[in-house]
Amino acid sequence: MRLGVSSICSHIFWEGMWWSYEPYVQEMDVWLDIFESMVVVAPLENGPPPEFWSPYRNSERLSVIPYQKNKGWGLNQKKTSIRDIPMMVSALVKGITSTDAFHLRTPGNISLLGLFLAPLLQKRVCAKYAGQWPSYPGEALSYRVQKALLRSFWFHGPVTVYGQWMNQPNHIIPFFTSVMNTEQVRMATKVAACRVLHNPIRVLFVGRLTKSKNVHILLDALSQLEKEKVSFECRIIGDGPEKQALEVQAKQQLVDSYNISFTGGLPFEEVLSNYEWADVLILVSETEGWPKAIAEGMTYGLVCIGNNRGLVPQMLEQERGWVVEPGNSEALVNIIKRITQYPDQYCEISKRAALWAKKYSLDSLRDAIRELLIQEWKLPTSSLRPSVKKINK
């Protein structure tokens, strides 16, 4: 079978291979393992690929139908205008009608159009909603519209969302993803088994440096910890529009600002080594769907402090971590102080977190997607490629 996909992620053809943002490619390689070929309706850019992009494993089985060209990479793309819509519709129609099934990556402008077109033109459709599924204050109108269409009878295929939520239609299916393969999960589990709390405590943030991620709240908390003579080291991994302002804030608020390092974006393997270094991962964004950094950190046995929004409370329930109200720096201070005071409790939480998180890997995702599509689309098992494990036997 040939799969069509709509995506906001830019693609570049370089040195005989298709490239895109590395975490996206790692997940879409799973889909390409299942289908014979894949057609991606996506923005097209000129090479070379920027840092932290990677090629598809099987680029020869991939093709791209562009709906916009040279308008910027990733989240730095120019906003969609009315003049862009005819090209977007044309690309979608071509992608939908030239494939055997179509997968919408939502939310996004291209997926909003696709939600009207795909159910009309394609028998087999599915979608993934990558954001926070329950509604929240300040949510964009376009996101609400996309959720309404995905919940409705109009969309006649499975929709995977992050978390188990009450009163949802039967085609809304809880699902979880990771960008760690089985070997990486195995190594993380080994690290988690030997984890002990360091002194000074090691604090980690991994994510895009935007206002909604509330890294400034983390810095407020660290400033208070310093005043209370609680020793710590902190690494902030990621890049984004707030990076410079956050660096200035750290220098102004913290006397020992050398205890905080801003690494910028890092390759995934280096991010994994920082999970091994840290004791605590803090991610208290305004909204979150399935925060992969928390799932990855838990696999390494980190004690995670997340927000009380979206799926995070489900991830950290049963004493697998802590949740706080976004913006509450005082709560962060109290939890970090408690962790330093009770190292035995830290180790117990760490063990529970690692035990829960180790079941999520790219390989388990591959098999779960394959089984879901065969069941929901009522396909013969031979319609989709077997799992990689079976291919390698």
CATH of the domain at 253: 3.40.50.2000
83 with 12, same domain: the answer is yes
- pLDDT single digits (tens) 339-385: 999 999 999 999 999 999 888 777 778 888 999 999 999 999 888 98
188 with 269, same domain: the answer is yes
Tokens of 267: 């390759």
User: Whose structure tokens read 């031979």?
Assistant: 382
> 265, 166, 284: which is closest to 215 by C-alpha?
284
Residue 245 domain boundaries: 182-357
> What is the per-residue pLDDT for 391?
40
> What is the per-residue pLDDT for 72?
64
220 with 341, same domain: the answer is yes
204 with 144, same domain: the answer is no
160 with 31, same domain: the answer is yes
Backbone angles phi, psi at 232, to 5 degrees: -155, 160
Residue 18 · residue 56 · CB < 8 Å: yes
- Tell me which DSSP letter residue 61 carries: G
Is 0.85 topped by the overall pTM?
Answer: no
Q: How confident is the prediction for the chain on average, in pLDDT?
A: 91
> 72, 94, 68: which is closest to 81 by C-alpha?
68
Per-residue buried b or exposed e for 267-289, using 16+ beta carbons within 10 Å of the residue's own CB: eeeebbebbeebbbbbbbbbbbb
Angle between helices 292-299 and 343-357 (to 10 degrees): 110
How many CB atoms within 10 Å of residue 381?
9
Tell me what the mean pLDDT of segment 52-64 comes to. 94
56 with 120, same domain: the answer is yes
338 with 201, same domain: the answer is yes
157 with 34, same domain: the answer is yes
- pLDDT single digits (tens) 148-162: 999 999 999 999 998
Alpha carbons 347 and 273: distance in angstroms, whole number: 20
Per-residue buried b or exposed e for 130-157, using 16+ beta carbons within 10 Å of the residue's own CB: bbbbbeeeeeeeebeebbebbbeeebeb
Residue 347 · residue 196 · CB < 8 Å: yes
Alpha carbons 87 and 108: distance in angstroms, whole number: 16
The H or E element spanning position 327 is none
> Per the structure, how many domains does the chain have?
2
327 with 366, same domain: the answer is no
- pLDDT single digits (tens) 255-304: 887 899 999 999 889 999 999 999 999 999 988 767 889 999 999 999 99
79 with 10, same domain: the answer is yes
- pLDDT single digits (tens) 64-88: 999 998 876 555 566 777 888 999 9
How many CB atoms within 10 Å of residue 80?
18
28 with 173, same domain: the answer is yes
- pLDDT single digits (tens) 26-49: 889 999 999 999 999 999 999 899
302 with 365, same domain: the answer is no
CATH of the domain at 373: 3.40.50
Cβ-based burial of 105 (10 A; exposed 0-12, middle 13-18, buried ≥19): buried
Lowest mean pLDDT among 229-233, 300-304, 336-340, 387-391: 387-391
Residue 34 · residue 370 · CB < 8 Å: yes
User: Whose structure tokens read 């779960």?
Assistant: 368
- 37-44 and 2-6 strand pairing: parallel
